[in-house]
Amino acid sequence: MDQVKFTAMKDGDREDYAFLAEHEVEFTKGTADRLLGALESLDEGLSGYQITRLGHSLQSATRAWRDGADTDWLVSALLHDIGDIFAPYNHDEYAASILKPFVREQCTWVVEKHGDFQMIYYGEHVGANPHKRDAYAGHAYFDDCAMFCERWDQASFDPDYDTLGIDHFRPLVREVFAREPYDPAVIQPGLRVPLVEKALAATRC
């Protein structure tokens, strides 16, 4: 069997859908490499900054690495702006949707809301509300998102920063997207893992 028999989904049978399920599972194994390719395409995106969007993503992840962040934080920092090309008006939600099945809820929430939190740095200059983050006051992950933006996001536009290359992070992306999607042992709603682990940071360059 090389393809399904139906031309309308309602006409498919068990054999058709078993065939498709097998193909879809195999296709998902390439998700990490497709994302890495999309990440590299950020070099073709928005210009005007002193570094490229890929450079910003790598620099954010590098700062997270040097802060001793765990794998979920590292991959989230790396991919937090991956929606810039395809979803410029909701890039944060786009990135969070990609990450959601494979990382801790804490990280997904922070990536989803980071656009609102970033407004504190520039909102007043573009006629937007710089205090948009206040809508989430009291949320369990509020302080995590504030720290994510302060330490890793807003600071990562420096052409002179010693940024690690994409090859440093490839294994981590592949590890995360090889996980069982929506595994409760990974998602762990309500769990807060620190962004900064000083002991681990001291071992990283």
Q: Mind listing the pLDDT tens digit of every residue in the chain (205 residues)?
A: 899 998 999 998 899 888 998 988 888 889 999 999 999 998 876 678 999 999 999 999 999 999 999 999 999 999 999 998 889 899 999 999 999 999 999 999 999 999 999 999 999 999 999 999 999 999 999 999 999 999 999 999 999 999 999 999 999 999 999 999 999 999 999 999 999 999 999 999 7
Judged by phi (left if over 0) then psi (alpha if -120 to 50, else beta), residue 182 lies in left
Cα–Cα distance for residue pair 113/96, rounded to 1 Å = 9
Structure-block tokens of residue 190: 């309500």
Structure-block tokens of residue 108: 């997904």
Helix pair angle (105-122, 71-79), 10° resolution: 50
Domain parsing of the chain, residue ranges: 11-201
pLDDT in tens, 36-60: 999 999 887 667 899 999 999 999 9
CB-count exposure of residue 106 (10 Å: 0-12, 13-18, 19+): buried
- Mean residue pLDDT of the chain comes to 95
Whether 157 contacts 50, CB under 8 Å: yes
- Return the CATH superfamily for domain 11-201: Hypothetical protein af1432 (1.10.3210.10)
Taking alpha carbons only, the member of 103, 136, 102 closest to residue 117 is 136
pTM of the model: 0.94
